[in-house]
A and B are shown apart, each in its own frame.
Chain A
Amino acid sequence: MKRMLLILGIVLGTVNVFAQDIYSCRNASFSFFSSAPMEDIEAKTDKGVSAINLKTGAVYFKVPVNTFQFRKKLMQEHFNENYLETDKYPYAEFKGKVVEPDAANLSKDGTHDVMVEGVLSLHGVDKTYREKGTITVQNGQVISASKFNVKLADHKIKIPTLVIKNIAEVVEVTVKATYAR
């Protein structure tokens, strides 16, 4: 019995050790910006979630697409109904890993320039991205940030020729998450 307890203790211990390296965030902010001949389009949300494992370098982001707020509400409606089809594809999700530098150094205090590789699932289409970002570790707080481009055609987001002047084909996406353990 004693031995059993010891084993259990070891098992739980290992879980704990691993869990300590995982940081999560429930108010990750996402925004995107596109500049087109007719008008700039901008939207943002802070309803995303994210998690990061400083030991393995695994990163995860997920955002309910219909939480993006536009200044023009009609645009927001079209974004959900016509372009991103949020009824069918409610979430955008990124599963990836820090590939540079070596994950072992991530836990150290300071700002790390990192390269993250992973799969972005958006509008029901998966695509592999390799993008630059930063991970800042300070006093037990972790912040991740990145800015990258998404080409609408890569995710089968179709723009009718009628409004092609209003919508850019590439949008710049900004992500920021502040994590707690």
Chain B
Amino acid sequence: MKAISLLLISCGLCITSQAQDDLSTMFKDSTGHQPVIGTFKSTRIIMGHSNETLKKHELDFRVAHRFGDAGGSFGGGKTAFGLDNSTDIRIAFEYGITDDLMIGISRAKGSGDLTQIFEGLAKYRILKQTTDDHIPVSLTVFGNVTVSTMSSNDDATSPSHFDEFTDRMTYVGQAILARKFGERLSLTLSPTYVHRNRVGYMDQNNMFALGGSGRVKLSKRLAFIAEYYYPFRSQSSKDYYKSQGVEFFNPLGAGLEIETGGHVFSVNFTNSTAILENQFIPETRSSWLQGQFRWGFNISRRFSLFGKKDWKK
């Protein structure tokens, strides 16, 4: 009995003395579900959207440029492999209203049926992947409206002949599912819907598409990015256009993304000539295999506005 009680006492003392020295045992790691950060570096991958949004009070100034065909009949040495031509240019101001909601306006040169385009966009993060896989994927929704300011075509059958103002408008709705697989790999899947109020004969006002894109980080600041969209154009529409000598291709892009503090540069090659989803999904008529791919870049510069005084407190 004595032996047992002695043992008990010594045990008790043992426990207490341990607790004294190592105070860390008092706290459990109960951090809960932590959101995964930095699935992508930017709100865009190549042309299409990533699941990322701007944070509150952030202003993103974006410039995107697509040059002319690198090869084929319009490319080659005489145009410096497309550098002398620009197929599309987009300049945008985008702004974070909350940490999950952003809006933006842009002007794009436009490449396709319509040109001289103004765009208004909104994007909202619904779900954030968590590190403990409580939520396995991130989900963001994106929508935009574009208006072409070009003068109406006299030809009444042309997609750019406008009887009414609404004929100038197109819309995109998109859901972006994304997942970061470990430190280096991020993938997205983006069911997309494009509506164009006015299209040519046998073209489609409504078109669904499925986008897929990914990023492989090569270092902390350099990543390889790729993006592909599969538009679901009806066979009858494809056949008709083929009989007219026009073939549609699926947009495919690949590039490098470089981050330098406040800037993100994306240098890429794409077969599509346009920058906006409203155009590159339904209207890509250039093919990688015929040398009709081009160099392009996106530059993003993010500024933090407001809150300097509030934050100091």
Contacts and interface: CB of A to CB of B under 8 A. Distances in A.
Interface of A: 3-4, 7-8, 10-12, 14-15, 18-19, 22, 24, 49, 51-53, 55-56, 58-60, 62, 64, 66, 71-75, 77-78, 80-82, 86-88, 90-91, 93, 95, 160, 162-163, 166
B23 A87 contact: no
Contacts of A91: 29
Given A66-B37, A73-B55, A7 B8 contact: yes
A18 B19 contact: yes
Interface string B1-22: 1000100110111011001111
Nearest to B307: A71
Nearest to A26: B27
Contacts of B26: 22, 24, 49, 51, 60
Given A10-B9, A22-B20, 15 more contacts: A7-B5, A11-B12, A15-B15, A15-B16, A22-B23, A51-B26, A53-B23, A66-B37, A74-B304, A77-B37, A77-B38, A90-B31, A95-B24, A160-B221, A163-B261
B5 A4 contact: yes
Contacts of A90: 31, 34
Contacts of A59: 23
Contacts of A55: 20
Contacts of A15: 12, 15-16
Given A3-B5, A71-B311, A80-B37, A166 B261 contact: yes
A87 B131 contact: yes
Contact of B23 (A3, A4, A7, A60): A60
B245 interface: no
A58 B220 contact: no
19 contacts: A7-B9, A11-B9, A19-B19, A22-B19, A24-B23, A24-B26, A52-B23, A55-B20, A56-B20, A56-B21, A59-B23, A62-B24, A64-B31, A77-B37, A77-B38, A91-B29, A95-B23, A160-B221, A162-B260
Nearest to A160: B221
Interface of B: 1, 5, 8-9, 11-13, 15-16, 19-24, 26-27, 29, 31, 34, 37-38, 55-56, 58, 99, 131, 183, 220-221, 260-262, 302, 304, 307-308, 311
A14 B38 contact: no
A101 to B, nearest CB: 19
A14 B20 CA distance: 12
A78 B261 contact: yes
B23 A74 contact: no
Contacts of B13: 14
Given A3-B5, A82-B220, A73 B304 contact: yes
Given A4-B5, A15-B16, A95-B22, A81 B37 contact: yes
Contacts of A62: 24, 27
A8 B38 CA distance: 54
Contacts of A11: 8-9, 11-12
A60 to B, nearest CB: 4
Nearest to B17: A18
A4 B6 CA distance: 11
Contacts of B22: 95
Contacts of A19: 19
Contact of A51 (B12, B16, B23, B37): B23
A89 B22 CA distance: 20
Contacts of A4: 5
Contacts of A64: 31
Contacts of B23: 22, 24, 51-53, 58-60, 95
Nearest to B57: A73
A95 B5 CA distance: 34
A24 B24 CA distance: 11
B99 to A, nearest CB: 8
Given A10-B9, A24-B26, A18 B37 contact: no
Contacts of B1: 3
Given A14-B13, A74-B58, A81 B38 contact: yes
A42 B223 CA distance: 28
Contacts of A73: 55-56, 58, 99, 304
A22 to B, nearest CB: 7
Nearest to B182: A87
